[in-house]
Amino acid sequence: MADEMARLEAVVRGRVQGVGFRYLVLDFASEIGLTGWVANERDGSLRCEAEGNRANLERLLELLERGPSGSRVTHVDHSWSEATGRFAGFSVRSGHHLGD
């Protein structure tokens, strides 16, 4: 069901750092009412954990697969689970985050 609340965890690989990816995700996720976070990882990937209705999370996944201009997404590992309700909003985390 598209209305069901869910959690998306994704790791985006390729040329995904230094191209404004995190802020594109932040703006998009905030605009469509998702909660969670996005961060650059030390290995050069980008990690995103988001919660909201499944249809909007699928839209976010499409954005992650496409990326901003200047990026080159080669692969997106993702998984779905039940929403936890732990996030108050959507944020950019530093590369030294502890995750959730």
Q: Which residues are catalytic?
A: 22, 40
Q: CA-CA distance, 77 to 9, in Å (whole number)? A: 8
